[in-house]
């Protein structure tokens, strides 16, 4: 029982250590990625754009090296083309000579003359055999050179295409960097505009203070006007005042002979008193 207990405890501890080690590695890995991402987020965008520009600039030496390799290969291919062309020309001349000697050997003559010199037919036959062997070797060499030339031409075309792709990719990356720079500039302009908005709010506060001051001055002017009007008779052009004036004018209006209505009434009273006095 004791052995089983010790063995189980050992397995349990070992398994726990293994799990702990796996978890620890996972935590370390996760923490590493988190720290790396956090550091990248802290790097200014301008620095990242500058870094991208430098990486694009670093492509120039590699492109220049490829240009040199392609230029050298173009020279070698051109040289090989001249060599193949020369061997082809030699093959054509060799073929013509062999066919001429073959015809002479088949003619049955014992002697043949070339450029004013007579040759024995057996000598011509031996020369024909040697020429034919040399022609076959030259033809084999020319065939190999043609295959080599075709392969190098294909490689040269592929290298040129690869270089064109690199140049096109470089130009595309440069355009992308410029677009990112333009977008960053727009963001900076927008951020500057938001800062101007804060200044506008400060100006609005100043305007509010000035408006309050103007209101207080208006109230003070109103109070001064009210104090000036206390005890004075308000003269207005209301309807009631106009009615009283009309009544007064009508009351004191003169009749056709002249004088006012009140004076006529007084004269009438005097006449009445005089007539009473003359009565017996």
Domains of the chain: 46-197 (1.10.287.1490)
Query: Judging by beta carbons within 10 Å of its beta carbon (0-12, 13-18, 19+), is residue 101 exposed, middle or buried?
Result: buried
Query: Residue 82 pLDDT more than 80?
Result: yes
Q: Which residues are paired to 119 by β-bridges?
A: 112
The pLDDT of residue 67 is: 92
More confident site: 15 or 140: 140
The pLDDT of residue 196 is: 52
Contact 99, 128 (CB under 8 A): no
Q: Count the neighbouring beta carbons within 10 Å of the beta carbon of residue 95.
A: 14
**pTM, entire model:** 0.49
């Amino acid at each position: 029982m004791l052995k089983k207990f010790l063995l189980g405890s050992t397995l349990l501890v070992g398994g726990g250590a293994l799990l702990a080690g796996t978890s620890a590695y996972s935590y370390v890995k996760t923490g590493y990625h988190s720290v790396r991402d956090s550091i990248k987020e802290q790097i200014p965008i301008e620095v990242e754009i500058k870094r991208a520009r430098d990486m694009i600039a670093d492509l120039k030496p590699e492109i220049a090296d490829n240009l040199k390799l392609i230029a050298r290969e173009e020279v070698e291919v051109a040289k090989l083309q001249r060599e193949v062309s020369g061997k082809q020309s030699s093959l054509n001349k060799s073929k013509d000579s062999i066919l001429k000697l073959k015809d002479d050997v088949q003619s049955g003559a014992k002697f043949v003359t070339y450029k004013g010199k007579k040759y024995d037919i057996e000598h011509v036959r031996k020369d024909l055999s040697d020429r034919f062997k040399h022609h076959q070797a030259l033809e084999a060499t020319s065939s190999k050179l043609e295959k080599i030339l075709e392969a190098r031409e294909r490689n040269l075309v592929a290298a040129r295409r690869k270089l064109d792709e690199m140049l096109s990719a470089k130009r595309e990356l440069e355009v992308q960097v410029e677009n990112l720079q333009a977008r960053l500039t727009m963001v900076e302009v927008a951020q500057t505009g938001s800062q101007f908005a804060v200044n506008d709010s400060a100006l609005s506060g100043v305007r509010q203070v000035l408006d309050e001051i103007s209101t207080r001055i208006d109230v003070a002017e109103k109070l001064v006007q009210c104090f000036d009007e206390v005890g004075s008779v308000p003269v207005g052009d209301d309807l009631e005042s106009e009615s009283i004036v009309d009544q007064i004018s009508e009351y004191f209006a003169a009749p056709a002979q002249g004088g006012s209505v009140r004076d006529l009434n007084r004269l009438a009273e005097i006449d009445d008193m005089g007539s009473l006095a003359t009565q017996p």
